[in-house]
Amino acid sequence: MNSPGPYMLAPMAELSHRALRELIEGFNGPPAPVRPEYYTEMISVPALLAGGPFEEWYLDGGPCPERLVYQLLGADEGPLAAAAALLDRRDCLGIDVNMGCAAPVITKTGAGVRLMEDMDKAGRIIAALRRVTKKRLSAKLRLGPRGFRLPRPGPAGEAAEKSPSAGFEYLLEFCRRLESQGLDLIILHPRLAGEKFKGRARWDYVEALRGELSIPVAGNGDIAGWESMESRAREGPVMIGRLAVKEPWIFTRRNSPSLPDRDLLEKTALHFLDLLARYQPPEFHLSRARRFFRYYCDNFIWAEYLRNKINREETLEGMGRIIRGHCRTIPENAAP
């Protein structure tokens, strides 16, 4: 297997689609080996196998399928393996299993982070996928399943969760099980299932896992800028989520302080709207545009005002007009 990384775009529902990949690729960046890998948003296994009406959009692997990883969301090994067999025929770099999503609408189906509750089952899933594909097989995890807690601070008052070994045994055993069944890569978003985005991503767990496993471990969570992305990438592969939506130029290694100027912000936003119209079905346009601007608006002064205006708008053209109007009213180098 080729070494992963150094950078990966995170799977993000309603965000990690072809239009965002086109936008990111459009920034002239370093040559191919340093360009990011792209994880797709989670693809529901039942919908994929049923041939749902929007599946072709979820499966669109452009513009660089050789750096694309499909993320599957499912609860059971049979359907997951059938879906992986379908994807195996497509041009792509790899297949990922979502074992980290903690949204109730997902966990009640038994998928996402629920898979971390049962090591035997998770191991069987990886073994079943390994039988149907030679593509790179990864799993994206959290620190532990629902109800899993890190040890409380010790009597000395020292925060036990600061220690890389606190509550680490379960995670390590779980990862070793997946590794023994043929997994090629772990992606760890080091938060607990119940935390959503609360607290901080505990990168010491990423480091600790790297020290113990023979397969690579990519870290993910809370990368807030180019410098931290670069410094984390020196330790191993890094997956970037929200920052890459706010700053789609981030992988070009251009530092954000010199960006964004008003013209670039406007041009990028308008270009994204065009890409959305081109690469997503009309039924998805508004939800995807709103999701994008939820993060992208943070580049502007009066971000909340702009976001609210965009959220109330009902067409992509109207959103474009709002962006143009906003850019005319703010100073040229208006950082928030």
Ligand X SMILES: Cc1cc2nc3c(=O)[nH]c(=O)nc-3n(C[C@H](O)[C@H](O)[C@H](O)COP(=O)(O)O)c2cc1C
Contact residues for ligand X (CB under 6 A)? 10-13, 15, 41-42, 71, 98, 100-101, 140, 189, 220-223, 240-243
Q: Which is nearer to ligand X, 83 or 243 (CB)?
A: 243
Q: How far is the CB of 228 from ligand X (least distance, A)?
A: 10
Q: Which is nearer to ligand X, 141 or 327 (CB)?
A: 141
Q: Which is nearer to ligand X, 229 or 327 (CB)?
A: 229
Measured CA to CA, the distance from residue 116 to residue 103 in angstroms comes to 14
Q: How far is the CB of 213 from ligand X (least distance, A)?
A: 19
Q: How far is the CB of 106 from ligand X (least distance, A)?
A: 9
Measured CA to CA, the distance from residue 47 to residue 53 in angstroms comes to 9
Q: Which is nearer to ligand X, 200 or 278 (CB)?
A: 200
Q: How many CB atoms lie within 10 A of CB 242?
A: 18
Question: Whose CA is closest to 296, among 249, 336, 246?
Answer: 246
Contacts of residue 41, Cβ cutoff 8 Å, sequence gap at least 6:
11, 12, 13, 14, 15, 16, 17, 58, 71
Residues 187, 96 contacting (CB under 8 angstroms) = yes
Measured CA to CA, the distance from residue 206 to residue 276 in angstroms comes to 34
Residue number with the shortest CB distance to ligand X? 241
Q: How far is the CB of 204 from ligand X (least distance, A)?
A: 16
Residue 12 has phi, psi (to 5 degrees) of -140, 120
Q: How far is the CB of 196 from ligand X (least distance, A)?
A: 9
Q: How far is the CB of 44 from ligand X (least distance, A)?
A: 10
Residue 74 has phi, psi (to 5 degrees) of -160, 170
Q: Which is nearer to ligand X, 292 or 300 (CB)?
A: 292
Measured CA to CA, the distance from residue 86 to residue 64 in angstroms comes to 19
Q: How far is the CB of 215 from ligand X (least distance, A)?
A: 18
3-state SS, residue 174: helix
Question: Whose CA is closest to 221, among 4, 10, 3?
Answer: 10
Q: Which is nearer to ligand X, 61 or 221 (CB)?
A: 221
Contacts of residue 184, Cβ cutoff 8 Å, sequence gap at least 6:
1, 94, 136, 137, 138, 215, 216
Q: Which is nearer to ligand X, 71 or 268 (CB)?
A: 71
